[in-house]
Amino acid sequence: MKVALITGITGQDGAYLAEFLLKKGYEVHGIKRRSSLFNTDRIDHLYADPHEQNVKFKLHYGDLTDSTNLIRLIQEIQPDEIYNLGAMSHVQVSFETPEYTGNADGIGTLRILEAVRLLGLTQKTRIYQASTSELYGLVQAVPQSETTPFYPRSPYAVAKLYGYWIIVNYREAYNMYACNGILFNHESPIRGETFVTRKITRATSKIALGLQNCLYLGNLSAQRDWGHAKDYVEAMWLLLQQDKAEDYVIATGVTTTVRDFVRMAFDEVGVTLEFSGKDENERGVVIDIDKEKQKELNLDPELLKIGQTVVKIDPKYFRPTEVDLLIGDPTKAQKQLGWKPKYDLAGLVKDMMESDLHLVKKDDYLKKGGFKIMNYFE
Ligand code: NDP
Ligand code: GDR
């Protein structure tokens, strides 16, 4: 039985990857951070009582900023594969916390590599590094492939650039099986709520139910190559099953603006939007309502009105330096790994909207049923 260690197991990708590896028969260990509230929502369904026999899923406290902790855990676990997914992963937040981001995302990667080297595991333990399309940053060429030059545009991307190159360096210097998956944006119903796709699908669901009036966004013209996280964790695993460690771009090859993602989300609840105005004055206005579709979804077709503004710009979401256009070329992964995504963008939006509409309706029903969200300070 293979043993895997996942950093960032409580995150979107960590949760899907843990589920994927358990299905493949792995023993899965994960590093979670101590927090004052439970932070394991995404993996609670995988939890097994540690008092039971043959438990295949184990969590350990730890942090990528703590090398002694990482050395001890890797020594105890002796993993065949390490997936380094832990990171301060929010690009805009990295402008607020640049030093911490450099420490966790950049030097954290070095700490993992050094732990494996110091423990004499270089020929046993294979390492996957969660590299990112943010490395491409300021557009040099499109579509972006393994040979496109990098030009990072945020403290997050600069930290990840260090992570990328230290993986390449340890592979070459110590003959380690260490590789970078250069993953383009990937989303899902369990995506963090402050990334743009999930922010859109949650707000669209609330607006459709009359629980929110308006969605405030930043740069609607940014273009992203969005895939589904479920497809992307399979690629992570494939990267570690090859004869030779190499770096791969994982992407769909299709790019879409944030604006069009918003349109697609509203379409899912039978609402057609038109955008007008420029920059800070741009607006998304309802121009058509499919009342039949709304009835099928148990939505009130009289709630939203033609002409109503449901999307506005708040400049606080503009970034000091933006990445305008990402579109990946996944040819190498398709040819060498045989990787092929199952979801397209329409399927992704549908999956996210179904899930968020369900979650928002559930909260609404509870509220209407007289249940209150507990407030300890009342
Ligand atoms: P999430 O933000 O959902 O998850 C990040 C995980 O890292 C969480 O488990 C978080 O813990 C953990 N973490 C944060 N800081 C530390 C730290 N100092 N020590 C240990 N763990 C830490 O990210 P995703 O799942 O979306 O992404 C996974 C990885 O892939 C990240 O490295 C991200 O940068 C990278 N990536 C993501 C892409 C995407 O589109 N999703 C694309 C390309 C790369 P907690 O739950 O406690 O906060
Ligand atoms: P990104 O994802 O920065 O690409 O990083 P995010 O969803 O945060 O932004 C995508 C684009 O949308 C624009 N945008 C907004 N973004 C957010 N978060 N909130 C808004 O209100 C908003 N309005 C417009 C942004 O400016 C940007 O252009 C993600 C993360 O998962 C990284 O960890 C990962 O490395 C990259 O994807 C690939």
The pLDDT value given to residue 247 = 99
pLDDT band at 137 (very low <50, low <70, confident <90, very high): very high
- 372 pLDDT above the threshold of 90: no
CA of 196 to the centre of ligand 2 (A): 5
| CA atoms within a 13 Å half-sphere pointing along the CA-CB vector of 124 | 16
Question: Which mutation among 60, 85, 198 tests ligand 1's pocket best, with the greatest number of atoms within 8 A of CB?
Answer: 85
pLDDT band at 371 (very low <50, low <70, confident <90, very high): confident
Q: Which atom of ligand 2 is nearest to the CA of 323?
A: 28
CA of 338 to the centre of ligand 2 (A): 28
CA dihedral (57, 58, 61, 66) in degrees, to 10, reads: -90
Which residue's CA is the closest to the ligand 2 atom numbered 8? 195
Over range 180-185, report the average pLDDT: 98
What are the Cα distances from residue 173, in Å, to 78, 167, 169, 239? 22, 10, 6, 20
The pLDDT value given to residue 52 = 87
Question: Which mutation among 101, 139, 185 tests ligand 2's pocket best, with the greatest number of atoms within 8 A of CB?
Answer: 185
| CA atoms within a 13 Å half-sphere pointing along the CA-CB vector of 168 | 12
Which residue's CA is the closest to the ligand 1 atom numbered 45? 10
pLDDT band at 238 (very low <50, low <70, confident <90, very high): very high
Cβ neighbourhood burial of 195 (10 Å; 0-12, 13-18, 19+)? middle
**Cis ω for the linkage preceding 143 (within 30 of 0):** yes
Distance CA 107, CA 166 (A): 9
Mind listing the pLDDT tens digit for each residue in 292-329? 999 999 999 999 999 999 999 999 999 999 999 999 99
CB-ligand 2 contact for 195 (6 Å cutoff) = yes
- 378 pLDDT above the threshold of 60: no
Question: Which mutation among 91, 135, 199 tests ligand 2's pocket best, with the greatest number of atoms within 8 A of CB?
Answer: 91
Residues marked as catalytic: 132, 134, 156
CA of 268 to the centre of ligand 2 (A): 22
Say which amino acid occupies 199.
K
Length of the chain (residues): 378
| CA atoms within a 13 Å half-sphere pointing along the CA-CB vector of 255 | 17
- 160 pLDDT above the threshold of 80: yes
What are the Cα distances from residue 274, in Å, to 107, 200, 260, 268, 277? 45, 16, 10, 15, 10
Question: What are the beta bridge partners of residue 83?
Answer: 6, 128
The pLDDT value given to residue 374 = 64
Percent of the chain with pLDDT over 70: 98
pLDDT band at 90 (very low <50, low <70, confident <90, very high): very high
Closest C-alpha among 165, 243, 152, 200 to residue 345: 200
Which residue's CA is the closest to the ligand 2 atom numbered 37? 185
The pLDDT value given to residue 49 = 87
Contacts of 335 (CB under 8 A, 6+ apart): none
pLDDT band at 225 (very low <50, low <70, confident <90, very high): very high
Name the H helices within the chain. 12-23, 67-77, 91-96, 98-101, 108-118, 155-174, 196-208, 229-239, 258-267, 291-296, 331-332, 345-368
pLDDT band at 373 (very low <50, low <70, confident <90, very high): low
Which residue's CA is the closest to the ligand 2 atom numbered 27? 222
| CA atoms within a 13 Å half-sphere pointing along the CA-CB vector of 342 | 8
Q: In whole numbers, what is the pLDDT of the chain averaged over residues?
A: 97
What are the Cα distances from residue 368, in Å, to 132, 203, 209, 364, 372? 43, 19, 13, 6, 9
CB-ligand 2 contact for 219 (6 Å cutoff) = yes
The pLDDT value given to residue 282 = 98
* For helices 345-368 and 258-267, angle between their N-to-C axes, nearest 10 degrees: 60
pLDDT band at 53 (very low <50, low <70, confident <90, very high): confident
Mind listing the pLDDT tens digit for each residue in 109-135? 999 999 999 999 999 999 999 999 999
Percent of the chain with pLDDT over 90: 94
Over range 342-346, report the average pLDDT: 98
Mind listing the pLDDT tens digit for each residue in 246-300? 999 999 999 999 999 999 999 999 999 999 999 999 999 999 999 999 999 999 9
Indicate left, alpha or beta for 26 from its phi (over 0: left) and psi (-120 to 50: alpha): beta
Q: Which atom of ligand 1 is nearest to the CA of 185?
A: 40
